[in-house]
Amino acid sequence: MTADPIDREVSELKFREPEKGRALADALARTVRRAVEKTGRSPIAVMHVCGSHEQAIAKFGLRAAFPRELDVIMGPGCPVCVTDLPEVDEAVALATDGVIVATYGDMVRVPGTAMSLADARSEGARVEVVYSASHAVELARSTDKQVVFFASGFETTAVATAAVLLKGTPPNFSVLSAHKYIPPVMEIVAEMPGTRVEGFLAAGHAATITGWGIFESFVERHGIPVVVAGFEPLDILAGLLKLVELIRDSTARVENMYPRCVTREGNRRAQEQLWKVFRPTGGRWRGIAHVPNGNLRLRGEWSSVDARQRFRIDAARMWKHSPAALVERCLCVDIMAGIRSPTDCALFARECSPDSPVGACMVSTEGTCRIWSQYGGGYPDLGGSR
């Protein structure tokens, strides 16, 4: 699978050599031109489903090196951004009811319907930032109070939550799961009416757990190629090049361009732990609506540590409040669906900034608005518009 010289070099851990970057960018431009000629479609539209890919694209200025006829669309790849309002509301309700809520830093400022966890904290609730699931367990061991770990993230992070539960936790510890599972959302995007997406760049870190084989049935069903790519600039350029080659040749298959970490089977032990603790269930993703099997919830056997079972969570009381006027103008929903860009939002870099975020996309370090605000985005010669 890594037969040609460029593939071999990428797999040999030479990540940031400018000459190779230029060679890949030139090859990408030539291949995109050929793909446009062969397919008669322009631009060729591909989607990545990972905030870490967008972060690397912005940080290393790769978007400026992409040919104009290639549209690299940002998908719903930020787990904080897709955490739905009612999930945030549940955490806020618990915090305001006197439970200690422990969560990752990005989650604290994500707006809920009436308030964020940061707002709840400013009103006296105890909200603690933790760096891992085991850090949340340590916090529970240090107190007699109930500690709820508000757990967000894709399958990579869910595995860590599963591992701490399997190890055993103190009786005052429970989990409010907002974990999401990536593969089902690709189905939604592929089936969206009028979708322009002709290929997916899949996230290398999630595939280290699931394995690249998980995408085979998706490719078979939808006839759309998938390329698994890592997060170094050369990884991304090589991944896009492979993806456009597949589109040019009308070949729908899975290619693994991250062989130094990803295998066909993935990490079996991590998968066992994940599915011992979680079950996939349908639920809303902010911006994408209902995603069948897109949410990860604790299995029945774990009900004793499931905050939704342990507490009567009255999140509905938040829903009496109407969202703030600025929030109603937020375009996060369209940005996560890949329909619009941050620069299409009138609030971008004005009323909405990383210091004063209006929507979830400006909160998380993997949110597209935050990334574009930090590093710039879009094609510079088009004034920042994609």
**Which parts of this chain interact with ligand SF4 (CB under 6 A)?**
330-332, 335, 342, 345, 347-348, 352, 358-359, 361-362, 369
Shortest approach of ligand SF4 to residue 348 CB, angstroms?
A: 4
Shortest approach of ligand SF4 to residue 358 CB, angstroms?
A: 4
Give whichever of 303 and 374 is closer to ligand SF4, judged by the CB atom: 374
Shortest approach of ligand SF4 to residue 225 CB, angstroms?
A: 30
Q: With 0-12 CB in 10 A as exposed, 13-18 as middle and 19+ as buried, what is 371?
A: buried
Shortest approach of ligand SF4 to residue 340 CB, angstroms?
A: 8
Among 106, 73, 158, 48, CA closest to 361 = 106
List 202's β-bridge partners, or say none.
Answer: 228
Give whichever of 274 and 337 is closer to ligand SF4, judged by the CB atom: 337
Q: CA–CA distance from 138 to each of 142, 171, 172, 340 (Å)?
A: 6, 12, 11, 42
Q: How far apart are CA 187 and CA 202, in angstroms?
A: 13
Q: How far is CA 266 from the centre of its chain?
A: 19
Q: How far apart are CA 11 and CA 235, in angstroms?
A: 9
Q: With 0-12 CB in 10 A as exposed, 13-18 as middle and 19+ as buried, what is 302?
A: buried
Give whichever of 69 and 344 is closer to ligand SF4, judged by the CB atom: 344
Shortest approach of ligand SF4 to residue 342 CB, angstroms?
A: 5
Q: How far apart are CA 280 and CA 319, in angstroms?
A: 26
Give whichever of 312 and 350 is closer to ligand SF4, judged by the CB atom: 350
Give whichever of 115 and 244 is closer to ligand SF4, judged by the CB atom: 115
Shortest approach of ligand SF4 to residue 347 CB, angstroms?
A: 4
Q: How far apart are CA 164 and CA 162, in angstroms?
A: 6
Phi then psi dihedrals of residue 17, to 5 deg: -80, 115
Give whichever of 108 and 335 is closer to ligand SF4, judged by the CB atom: 335
Give whichever of 234 and 352 is closer to ligand SF4, judged by the CB atom: 352
Among 108, 83, 112, CA closest to 319 = 112
Phi then psi dihedrals of residue 246, to 5 deg: -65, -40
Shortest approach of ligand SF4 to residue 87 CB, angstroms?
A: 18
